[in-house]
Amino acid sequence: MGESIRRVEGRVRLGPLTLESGEVLPEVELAYEDVGPAEAPVVLVCHALTGSHRTVGTSAAPGWWHPLVGVGKAVDPRRLRVITFNVLGGQDGSTGPRSIDPRNGRPYRARFPFVTIRDMVRAQRLGLIELGVNHVVAVIGGSMGGMQVLEWGLMYPDFMDLLVPLAVTPATSAFAIAFNAVGRLAITSDPAWREGEYPEDDPPAVGLSLARMIGVLTYRTPEQFARRFGRSLKHGWGHDHREVAFQVESYLLYQGEKLVERFDANSYLYLLKAVDSHDIGRGRGGWREAARGYRARIVAVGFRGDLLYPPEEIRSFVEHLRALGKDAIYAEVASEYGHDAFLVEGEQVGEILRRHAPELFPDPAPASADPEGAALLAASRSASEKTVPSPISG
Ligand SMILES: CC(=O)SCCNC(=O)CCNC(=O)[C@H](O)C(C)(C)COP(=O)(O)OP(=O)(O)OC[C@H]1O[C@@H](n2cnc3c(N)ncnc32)[C@H](O)[C@@H]1OP(=O)(O)O
Ligand SMILES: N[C@@H](CCO)C(=O)O
């Protein structure tokens, strides 16, 4: 970041935390990134499955959401204080399966308790209080991050002014749970998983890799694969069923390997379970009834071709909110990235935020005055598609 922009990475200690299940984690810590002026209005960002608290990052290592959050972007840390926590159950410094259980001095691994999206949100609320934050202007997140956004709005309805759930439905569908179940089975049936007791340098690589490959199939679209790979061959066409004949196979294998390099298999299992737990209506009379509890304004975004969280379901959710008299709008983004578009189409999501919440996300001041900001801008991806206006956008 430029010298003028404050960026802190740290950990907050929360002490014991009673989970939704009734189990108690005796010592909980959350890793966080805190970027922007300390006195500025706070935007809380919630990360997705394999993201981390490094939302903005640095010019040398831009964070996972650099297309949307950063100098010159819609969520600009020159005027907003942007805070992200690594989720409870995560693997980037927050308490999770890799952490030491203080009761016996051993890593939890597969003995870590089941955590839900609500547990993640409660931990973050305690984390914000530790950081001296009692109100945020917006909570933003996509996918598993969007689940946290929806829960934030019900668990602490007056804590924020605006909720921005992206690529998420009010409850995880049977179809999405089914893919998660297959992913988990891929990991747990790899003999290298060893009931979670694998050494750090010998993880269940085949299982985790396979789980990611299955996941990637649901995060993208047939259109993207057709355009990128078509039937292009990697090697000459042979007759061995073990060969990697097509480019698309090579790509998928690489995506699997890449995750093995950067993610813990046990944490992946727990986070998939947390995703399965997502249902804003659980214990609240169903999602339609639960929706009555929102008090903050909502700008919800769906992504064309999202197999897991179909835009039409998000749109119906917003229609229901509006029928309840809530201040909610829906906008849709077209992208061949499908579900993953929430991560890469930052320019389009930024346009939606500027249009519907200009008081928080005004047109950016040029980043050129800040050389590091310009470098971050250059690092972001260009969006090729345009935002699709929705008839129910305000
Ligand atoms: C951006 C980050 O910070 S990632 C690390 C933190 N984690 C996160 O942010 C979680 C969320 N992020 C993600 O899910 C992803 O990073 C996304 C969706 C944002 C982008 O996905 P990517 O995998 O980077 O994009 P994409 O699908 O274009 O794949 C590109 C990779 O496939 C490789 N590739 C492309 N075609 C082929 C092929 N035929 N055979 C083998 N590899 C191939 C590219 O070389 C490239 O490799 P690289 O990642 O080492 O540069
Ligand atoms: N690509 C996303 C998918 C889940 O939203 C991730 O890895 O977090």
List pLDDT tens digits, range 27-78.
Answer: 999 999 999 999 999 999 999 999 999 999 998 999 999 999 999 999 999 9
Note the ligand closest to the C-alpha atom of 65: 1
Q: How far is CA 39 from the centre of its chain?
A: 26
Residue 28 lies in a domain: yes
- Asked whether residue 242 is marked as a ligand-binding residue, the answer is no
Of 243, 273, 303, the one marking the end of a domain is: 273
- Chain mean pLDDT for the chain: 93
pTM for the whole structure: 0.93
d(CA 305, CA 339): 7
Looking at the chain, how many residues does it have? 394
Could you tell me the CATH number of the domain that includes residue 331? Answer: 3.40.50.1820
Check whether residue 159 and residue 304 sit in a common domain. Answer: yes
Max distance between CA atoms of the chain, in angstroms, equals 65
Structure tokens that stand for 113 in this block: 């308790």
Evaluate whether ipTM surpasses 0.90: yes
Same domain membership, residue 375 and residue 322: yes
Does any domain span residue 393? Answer: no
- Token pair, residue 329, equals 């709008």
Which of 47, 49, 168 for mutating ligand 2's site (highest number of atoms within 8 Å of CB)?
49
Question: Could you tell me if 22 and 115 lie in one domain?
Answer: yes
- Between 389 and 197, the more confident residue is 197
Residues 143 and 219 in one domain: no
Measuring from each residue's beta carbon to the nearest atom of ligand 1, which residues come in under 6 Å? 50-51, 64, 247, 250-251, 254-255, 258, 340, 343-344
Backbone dihedral region of 143: left (phi > 0), alpha (psi from -120 to 50 degrees) or beta?
left
Sign of torsion over alpha carbons 161, 292, 140, 35 = positive
CA quadruple 383, 252, 202, 180: dihedral, nearest 10: 80
Atom of ligand 1 minimally distant from the CA of 232: 39
Percent of the chain with pLDDT over 70: 91
Assess whether 248 and 288 both reside in one domain. no
The verdict on residue 117 lying in a domain is yes
Please check whether residues 158 and 242 belong to one and the same domain. Answer: no
* Residue 136 Rama label (left phi>0; alpha psi -120 to 50; beta): beta
Closest ligand 2 atom, residue 339 Cα? 5
Query: Where in the sequence numbering do the catalytic residues fall?
Result: 143, 306, 339
> 238, 273, 308: which is the final residue of a domain?
273
Cα separation, 106 vs 115, in Å, equals 19
Instruction: Residue 78: give the domain boundaries.
Output: 7-171+278-388
Kindly state the average pLDDT of the residues 171-196.
Answer: 98
- 344 Cα–ligand 2 center, Å: 11
Number of structural domains found in the chain? 2
Is 384 inside any structural domain? yes
> Which residue's CA is the closest to the ligand 1 atom numbered 19?
343
Residue ending a domain, among 273, 306, 326, is: 273
Q: Do both 231 and 309 map to the same domain?
A: no
| Statement to judge: residues 70 and 148 lie in one domain | yes
How many CB atoms neighbour CB 203 within 10 A? 22
